[in-house]
Structure 1
Amino acid sequence: MLRHLLGLLVGIALAPLLWICVSWSAVELPGLLEGDVAVATVAAAVLLVLAGCGCAYLAAARISPLAAGAAGLPLSALALWPAVHPASLASALSWLNPESFVYPGGPGVSVALPLGALLVFSAALPNRWRAPVPAGPAMMAAPWERVDGPRGTPPEPPVGDTVPEAPGRGPATEVWEPREGDPAKTTTPFARGEDGWTPLNEGAERRD
């Protein structure tokens, strides 16, 4: 709940900043394209890049989707306001100079509208509303070391006298162990039966 509240406050604070940034940059940027390399034109290009990176972070990061939604809705509303209801725009913003770069309907609409739509769409995705799962030691543990549930205990690793199967040969039936004091025979054969592993006769030969 706290992360959504913080996301809402961050989005509300970023909405006017994004609108001012893209509106002013859209006015100054054409001068850079015409060859007028000045502080204002270069700053406009830099601000647009920063605005795009910031919106991409809000749309993709594992933070509250309210941050993206609260920033994208006002941005889209200001961009669409002149087209949806121009009469209410003139009466509501009569105190603002229509020639100002922050006045809705200027060149900034072409930038603010796609950015606002991106933020609103990212906030509407269902997976954005899932709480992030922190990666802990349990996620990096071996399969027999993981806990099965909040109060479970790690299962024991497999034990016993089972010999793994050799590829294409089936289960092993003999185990050969070193034998001391016999240079001619360096291993002792064992066979598995109902009573476990028992030594074979002295004359037994190793089977492949």
Structure 2
Amino acid sequence: MNSRVTFKLTLIALALCLAFFSRPARAQSIIRQPGNHPDYAFEIEPHLAFQWANRYGADDGIGPGIRFNIPFMHNGPIKTINNNMGITFGMDITFGGGNYGCGYPYDRRYGDCDVTEFWLPVAMQWNFYLTRVISVFGEPGFAIAHRRASYPWYCNGPNTPICNDRTFTDTNIEPVLWGGGRFMFSDKVGATVRIGFPMITAGINILL
């Protein structure tokens, strides 16, 4: 089963769980009740990340990640609705292959490479609390992206034995943009889904 299918099945299962747990609270809107949301100092969010864009080798990648969210404004910047703002930062590691651009075109295994990417995102998180269970957010920011690709090297020319593996590394600062939703199962624990560029994440969140 490839990474894309695995992640889609994970999202479907998570969506079914969220629909079940959040159904009773959907009609209880609190968006016009400023400050009526959990007063937390720190949020931890372990998750699974699916990188669909801006990846070396133009293939997909999947792997673990974690996010730390720290609010710096309990209510605001819009004082008349239920919202807050904070900073979010963390790390995502994605693993996958490459379907072109790895190695040399004359090699038999051109494009057959292993790609690992480390992303360190930092973004502003703006939350809007719709009900006691459901909140949505936007996250514009940037990330330090470190890419590592290894591929077989035919040092004696085409159709010869592989001599060794060559490794390519690169580090850049990349833009990131996400929108997502948080679905609380209790006052302190819930699930978070994040959709955007360059990856989708799904996991749990813990308020401290």
Normalised-by-shorter TM-score class: under 0.3
Structure with higher RCO (Cα < 8 A, 6+ apart): 2
Point out the structure with the larger helix share: 1
TM-score, normalised by the number of residues in structure 1: 0.21
Structure with more of its chain in strand, by fraction: 2
Larger Rg: 1
TM-score by length of 2: 0.21
